[in-house]
Amino acid sequence: MKDLLGAAQKDYCVDTQRAFAVGFSYGAMFSYAIGCELGGIFRAIAPMSGALLSGCNLSGKPVAMWGSHGTHDSLVDISLGRQARDKILQQNHCGSQTTPVDPSPCVAYQGCDEGYPVTWCEWDGDHDRPPFGNTAVAAFFRQF
């Protein structure tokens, strides 16, 4: 991933302070791995319906996250998504208290490292992207 980002920087005008990873299903698993291991290189991630099947070696460097998971996911159980979310919460030093944010039913975790928010959206759905996902991810990334 570092080599891919380096190649893009070589050939294109890349804002190195705004590298983001978005993924659904196995792409979300890859996004979690990026968030765990490449905080400081990637600014934020947005995994949807993922788990830690790609690993999660915490780098100690925070990464902002907007994550979602369907409560009725028949392929990747929501408990696995929560486990992945919890690794990012740990890395970002977040507390367990949440406040509701738009779009509903999303919540923002409190006490996270300054500038590294974590938003989590459990929605009534199966193994899919949430219907509000595209708009919400774009809005989350725009804050950076």
- Over residues 27-38, the pLDDT tens digits come to 999 999 999 999
Fold for 15-142, please state it: Rossmann fold (3.40.50)
Instruction: Look at residue 54 and tell me whether its pLDDT is greater than 80.
Output: no
- Over residues 60-117, the pLDDT tens digits come to 999 999 999 999 999 999 999 999 999 999 999 999 999 999 999 999 999 999 999 9
DSSP readout, 65-115? EEEEEETT-SSS-HHHHHHHHHHHHHHTT--S-EEE-SSTTEEEESSPPTT
How confident is the model at residue 14, as a pLDDT? 87
Task: Please state the domain extents for the chain.
Answer: 15-142
In whole angstroms, what separates CA 87 from the centre of its chain?
11
How confident is the model at residue 16, as a pLDDT? 84
